[in-house]
Structure 1
Amino acid sequence: MLGSSWNQVLAQAPTKDEHPCAVTRTASTSLLLADGITSLGHRDLMRQYDMHWYKLDLQLERNSTDVSGSVTLYASVVATSMTEFAFELHPNFTIEQVTLDGTPCTVRRSGSEVIAVLPVAKSRQKKVRMQVRYAGRAPSGASAAIGNGFNTGLTPYGPFSWSLSEPFAASEWFPCKQLLYDKADSVEVWVTTDVLNKVGSNGLLQRVTPMPNQKHRYEWKSNYPIAYYLISVALGQYEEYSFPVTLPGAPQPMLVQNYIYPQTLPSVKADIDITASFLQIFSEHFGLYPFYKEKYGHSMAPIGGGMEHQTMTTQSSFGFTLTAHELAHQWWGGEVTCADWSHIWLNEGFASYSEYLALEKLRPLDKRGWLTTARSSAASQETGMVFVKDSTSVPRIFNSALTYRKGAMVLHMLRHAVGSDALFFKILQAYRKEYQHKVATTRDFQKVVERETGKPYKYFFDQWVYGEGVPVLNVAYAQRGDSLYIRSNQTGTSPVTPFFKTEVEMKITTTVKDTLVLVQQNKPLEDYAFKVPGTVTYVEIDPSAWLLYTGFSNAKEDVSIVPIGREPSGIYPNPTSGMINLMGWRNPSQVTILDMLGKTVKVLRPEGRSFSVADLRAGVYLLKAEYGAELITYRFVKL
């Protein structure tokens, strides 16, 4: 989900989590974790069954928020015995009847919490088919991320209606179970409407059935698992613009089906067409588009952004990064869903970073500007975690600086930390495969990272996802002859996380050449030393914009940092295409180079502190330098 108007509101007050129309819930604890906003007791009742299938059979129009019809919920019992079937439906709607396999049930209601008393108890593994007939007007009050569960709006092309259920507003237009972990195995969406309307929804359009009184019924069906908030409708006097796309690994071309405002095709066609390139890029990076057996597409609506409804995103326009973002959600949010809203960065941070990946491939001149904006936004939020403490607060869930921008920067920094694009995308593909059509937490993702790299990354996620603020770098340098001394003094913008263990790239510019070095900052104050040719004119920090930090981008000259009787250590250049230089004044007695699996690939006894690794294959290696009884280990990248 990406909403420009919502993000602008948040940007104006980045440290506030309040919004006058947001659904919030207060509690005495400092950590509120929730799938939804119903009471704990009602959630426990809903956990007594496992959803298999929704069938929505509704009457809707393009100029009204009136909703009527029936919804069938097909599930199986997971409790030992179930006597009550709990679900959610906003109190604006009158429930006309609830039946279990055709037999009427007694109904109790409290706000949006509904309980149907079963005529007979159902034991474990038994199936239940509940049909809810209801009618009413969807509420206003902006309880969804952008707007309400079901909305109508006037455009220059006429009125349009649409749904937007994220995070807790599905019950504002249909009876449902709003628990993220319990995806339905499939969904059918039938909408009876004026014959002039087209209706967009999930999956494939099965048929359009003529109905009495100048109406027809659009019948959509999706056979993929789906989270409740991704079930959708959009309707109005659309024109259809569709085209096939061939994806690598797909057995046949896939349909990209678009319902657009009438007479707008000349102005939006080029922006929609780029969806084909996005599909190919993301399929290469993440694996084949998850729903290739059905479709992808868009339905236009005046929502001020986009919402990633499964297989058919709702968008107000087709800007490059907006379209890329919402498509990426089909992998990150649709196929792999955050286990609860506290881990929403696994949806939004991943989709936001996908904007950068699309720019990297198609508009490389624009990628630096994207990074600059993302870093500035993320660094502006000095308090608050990427992890959402209060996952019942809609504004906090969709905080632009933390959830979207800092979440994206976490992935960007992880990409650099693992040292290889091939390994980074292998991690994403492995994560996607392991949690395909399931839900995941941050620690689940961390485990995949550690398994694929063979290295611990708890420190990384503890500081960037569960920590607060960003590092502040104060870097100084001094030159004495051919020796360059650099001191990095790091503090944090938040006392919650006063120090970030991280790698820092620096570009050393001399009168002879430029050299890129990679240093490890393991404590707040670190000293490094290098041998350099010529006179140093400039030391640039993080020249390729891999790190989220604040402070000056260039080091200041400070002669006081020249060490007295202290020997710094390190290697440079890193990455290297051939030569490696060891910092310090001693020569190692032996150098051993190992691959990331711990296998020795090279043993050297260099005469000095410089030697060649040109014969190594490209990749990430460990270097162990022996100084008598002392052993120092470094990581380096061979280009």
Structure 2
Amino acid sequence: MKIHLLLIFLVFFSAVKAQEADPITRMIEIAKIEKRAHEKLHRAERTSALTSASQNFNVNYYRCEWEVTPTVQFISGKVTSHYQTTAAGSSIAFDLANNLTVSSVTQRNVAIPFTQGNNTLTINFPVAFGTGVKDSVTVVYAGQPTGADGYFTVSTHGSAAAAKPVLWTLSEPFGSREWWPCKNGLDDKADSIDVYITHPSAYKGVANGIQVSQTNIAGSKTVTHWKHRYPIASYLVSLAVADYTVLNNSVMVGADNIAMQTFCYADGLANFTNGANIAMDAISLFSAQFGTYPFKNEKYGHVQFDGGGGMEHQTNSFMTSMDQGLISHELGHQWFGDKVTCASWEDIWLNEGFATHLQYMYSEYKQPQNTTSNRTAVVNFITSAPDGSVRVDNVNDINRIFDNRLSYYKGSYLLYMLRWILSDNVFKTAINNYLNDPALAYGYATTANLKSHLEAASGRNLTYFFDQWYTGQGYPSYQVQWYPVGNKVQIKLSQTTSHPSVSFFRLPVPLLFRNTVTNEQKLVTLNHTFSGQMFSEELGFVPNTVIFDPSVWLVTRNNTITKESGPLPVTFVSFQAECAGNGVTLKWETSEETGADRFEIQKSADAANWENIGTVKAVGDSKVLNKYEFTHPAPGAQRSYYRLLEVDVDGTKQYTRIIASSCIVLGAESQPDCLHVTIKPNPVKNRLIFDADNPGSGNLQAAIFTVSGAQPSAGLKNILVRAKNDIDISSLPSGLYLLVLSTDDQKPVQTVRFLKE
């Protein structure tokens, strides 16, 4: 996406900020440019639909023949669209602005009737067509594209005394129709394009892909032919004409020699030469993380323009100038935005959040000493307002789509938090699977598609995360209370939220405990599942200070850390569930109690909705070990979850951690027992190895299913379960599977997910 306000952070927090003489002034200038640009775009679009192209055909190929001169706001064009129908009918419609006049539409050199209106070109065929018909139409048109909206711009560069003309296009999000007939939405990529630019010979014409030829013709004109043989969204098609200087480079990525081609003004030569070197270095890093540059058979390049930032045109990023942050951001878009494009502007974070994240990945790779300060600054910006979701709730509002705080920075930080939750290795696996999914690669994707790949690679259900962080608004503020007890520490972790859309943010919370005298330290990660949760951690030393989230993985603000002067009200030593007789016995121990009144026992079937099932009186005030237990006589056949709510005499409350119990009925005697299944390792390669602790008298059988319930192989069912099990799964493709254990009568008693690598 074009970046204006985004450069505030690119410039200010980039490690190359010393190159900016006055970064604060630069930030103000860029903010003004962004505001003006969005106002223009909003004025241009708010009176009409964003796309009116018909949905009864898919474009396979565009042949675009354009004649322009960089001194005149005018375009003459001839666009031939090859397509295949997806539904029967007698007409198709393209997006095209009303101020561009169509002079003819032909099919195989035969004129076809058409109508123009409401920014739509409707082509009416004399004979109806069926589904699956392949054909083409040629549209000849001309006119003056609206210059005020910034989609098709004629301008100048250089000093006022020696100003030189330049023409450039920038179509994101809805502007393609303002200068050429196409499908303007996010539902159809042409498989390939050819672009023929007729322009004055004193200038160079640039478009996507690789240059095939330059042919001089009469009238001191040149036809420059570019071809691009990868699927491309209409808003990524680009055109520029100016007196460019050309730089040619290449970079080896593994066995691939990737061409780099830069078009810049003569006075920008030094800046763009240095920038090309940065881009080649970044291509190597991103290729190692996310697969080789996705358009390796053609090139990557830059084109200088005066749009106030950058735009990730496919293979050909348009750049106002070259600084590290902007270079890495636009390059990152070649994977996220170009190879895989958001399927709706609602999901623009799949483009902008990822590109921003890659921008910071490169910064952290090159200037690791700035990592903490840069992350802190970004989090402070995200939390500078209490509301706002990453999901765009109004796709007709361009300012909302390209909201820097939400679509760019909060979106990028969802990825930081997912890396923290899942680990970098699992995250990398998931994202590579997402980029290379045949249904998504060189096509369109939704947040649901990304979520599915993250869940498959991790074996986790991440619905809660996306409900809270993608759909929900705001952020958490943490209250940490801690008290050292010898080499251990008691912790009470509470949370408030900035917006009512989310009552609790579930995250693993890192705390760094330190002794500043002995220099001992230990990072403790607390799996925070409810506010007021108590923890007891073994440190091996006595801490005197605590640092919250030292590496800044989380989006938080206004956190407080309090060292208590005495023990926390109740210190839990243990809490566990045991199967006994016809029920579940819960056992817990406390090592210290202050003002404790009672323990309320709570049960849940889903670890979300809770009911009280009993109460046990607390000792009250004690500094010795106290043991408690409670038996739940009828837990049911399904897995149950339990927690304790400790209530003090003054009404203060705290919860324990949540524990799960799988007490089930096995065998003819129908006695409840606990079944424990452990898969090691998980993810699994070619052999599924698991232990099954089956205390019942009946036999168990195992079967393997896909997550959709299908059985991938007849040989992977009716497997007798033993204490130790080893199953050959080398024939299974990579993905997420279910190991289902059943009784002899096929009654499922335990299901465990595993990931096949």
- Quick one: which of 25, 37, 44 aligns to 2:49? 37
Aligned to 2:293: 289
Alpha carbons of structure 1 residues 93 and 491: separation in structure 2 relative to 1, 3 Å: same
Say whether the 8 Å CA contact 1:199–1:236 is kept in structure 2: yes
How is 1:39-118 mapped onto 2 (pairs within 5 angstroms)?
Answer: 42-43=52-53, 46-79=54-87, 81-118=88-125
The percentage of aligned residue pairs carrying the same residue is 29
2:217 aligned with 1:214: no
Deviation of the 1:105 alpha carbon: 2.1
- Equivalent-residue separation in structure 2 for 1:545 and 1:568 (angstroms): 31
Q: Give the secondary structure class of the aligned counterpart of 2:253.
A: coil
- Quick one: which of 451, 465, 480 aligns to 1:460? 465
TM-score (norm 2): 0.71
Deviation of the 1:26 alpha carbon: 7.8
- Equivalent-residue separation in structure 2 for 1:106 and 1:431 (angstroms): 43
Alpha carbons of structure 1 residues 564 and 368: separation in structure 2 relative to 1, 3 Å: closer
Say whether the 8 Å CA contact 2:205–2:240 is kept in structure 1: yes
- Quick one: which of 154, 157, 165 aligns to 1:155? 157
Alpha carbons of structure 1 residues 213 and 470: separation in structure 2 relative to 1, 3 Å: same
- Equivalent-residue separation in structure 1 for 2:243 and 2:103 (angstroms): 31
Deviation of the 1:368 alpha carbon: 2.6
| One-letter code aligned to 1:106 | P
Q: Give the secondary structure class of the aligned counterpart of 1:274.
A: helix
Q: Which 4+ runs in 1 deviate beyond 6 A? A: 6-15, 24-27, 590-593, 598-603
TM-score (norm 1): 0.83
The gaps in structure 2 that reach 5 residues or longer are: 9-27, 577-588, 592-624, 628-658, 660-675, 693-757
Say whether the 8 Å CA contact 1:306–1:313 is kept in structure 2: yes
Aligned to 1:627: none
Deviation of the 1:498 alpha carbon: 2.1
| One-letter code aligned to 1:54 | Y
Deviation of the 1:161 alpha carbon: 1.1
- Equivalent-residue separation in structure 2 for 1:217 and 1:14 (angstroms): 34
Render the CA deviation track for 1:198-223: whole Å, top value 9, x for unaligned.
Answer: 11111111100111111101110001
Aligned to 1:494: 499
Q: Give the secondary structure class of the aligned counterpart of 2:383.
A: helix
| One-letter code aligned to 1:494 | H
- Equivalent-residue separation in structure 2 for 1:371 and 1:350 (angstroms): 15
Q: Give the secondary structure class of the aligned counterpart of 2:137.
A: strand
| One-letter code aligned to 1:128 | D
Say whether the 8 Å CA contact 2:7–2:326 is kept in structure 1: no
Aligned to 1:371: 375
Q: Give the secondary structure class of the aligned counterpart of 1:544.
A: coil
Say whether the 8 Å CA contact 2:82–2:134 is kept in structure 1: yes
Deviation of the 1:474 alpha carbon: 1.9
How is 1:309-348 mapped onto 2 (pairs within 5 angstroms)?
Answer: 309-348=313-352
Aligned to 2:754: none
- Equivalent-residue separation in structure 2 for 1:57 and 1:84 (angstroms): 24
Aligned to 2:682: 596
2:486 aligned with 1:478: no
Aligned to 2:603: none
- Equivalent-residue separation in structure 2 for 1:96 and 1:26 (angstroms): 28
- Quick one: which of 218, 221, 244 aligns to 1:238? 244
What is the aligned residue count?
569
- Equivalent-residue separation in structure 2 for 1:565 and 1:361 (angstroms): 43
Deviation of the 1:91 alpha carbon: 1.2
2:571 aligned with 1:530: no
- Equivalent-residue separation in structure 1 for 2:44 and 2:499 (angstroms): 26
Say whether the 8 Å CA contact 1:2–1:322 is kept in structure 2: no
Deviation of the 1:61 alpha carbon: 1.6
Aligned to 2:436: 433
Q: Give the secondary structure class of the aligned counterpart of 1:380.
A: coil
Aligned to 2:408: 404
Deviation of the 1:108 alpha carbon: 1.9
Aligned to 1:562: 568
Deviation of the 1:431 alpha carbon: 0.5
Q: Give the secondary structure class of the aligned counterpart of 2:391.
A: coil
| One-letter code aligned to 1:72 | T
Which has the higher mean CA deviation after the structures are superposed, 486-495 or 318-327? 486-495
| One-letter code aligned to 2:287 | S
- Equivalent-residue separation in structure 2 for 1:235 and 1:13 (angstroms): 23
- Equivalent-residue separation in structure 1 for 2:33 and 2:204 (angstroms): 39
- Equivalent-residue separation in structure 1 for 2:566 and 2:575 (angstroms): 19
Say whether the 8 Å CA contact 2:209–2:228 is kept in structure 1: yes
Deviation of the 1:100 alpha carbon: 2.2
Alpha carbons of structure 1 residues 533 and 501: separation in structure 2 relative to 1, 3 Å: same
2:206 aligned with 1:200: yes
Which has the higher mean CA deviation after the structures are superposed, 331-340 or 103-112? 103-112
2:140 aligned with 1:133: yes
Q: Give the secondary structure class of the aligned counterpart of 1:270.
A: helix
- Equivalent-residue separation in structure 1 for 2:7 and 2:130 (angstroms): 47
Deviation of the 1:12 alpha carbon: 8.8
Q: Give the secondary structure class of the aligned counterpart of 1:133.
A: strand
| One-letter code aligned to 1:531 | E
Deviation of the 1:594 alpha carbon: 4.8
Higher relative contact order (CA 8 A, sep 6+): 1
Say whether the 8 Å CA contact 2:147–2:154 is kept in structure 1: no
Deviation of the 1:71 alpha carbon: 1.1
Aligned to 2:511: 506
- Equivalent-residue separation in structure 1 for 2:479 and 2:441 (angstroms): 43
| One-letter code aligned to 2:95 | E
- Equivalent-residue separation in structure 1 for 2:323 and 2:535 (angstroms): 45
Which has the higher mean CA deviation after the structures are superposed, 487-496 or 439-448? 487-496
Alpha carbons of structure 1 residues 561 and 70: separation in structure 2 relative to 1, 3 Å: farther
Which has the higher mean CA deviation after the structures are superposed, 365-374 or 318-327? 365-374
Alpha carbons of structure 1 residues 110 and 567: separation in structure 2 relative to 1, 3 Å: farther
Aligned to 1:266: 270
Alpha carbons of structure 1 residues 478 and 432: separation in structure 2 relative to 1, 3 Å: same
Which has the higher mean CA deviation after the structures are superposed, 353-362 or 329-338? 353-362
Q: Give the secondary structure class of the aligned counterpart of 2:146.
A: coil
- Equivalent-residue separation in structure 2 for 1:458 and 1:314 (angstroms): 37
Deviation of the 1:558 alpha carbon: 2.9
- Equivalent-residue separation in structure 2 for 1:234 and 1:285 (angstroms): 32
2:426 aligned with 1:423: yes
Deviation of the 1:123 alpha carbon: 1.6
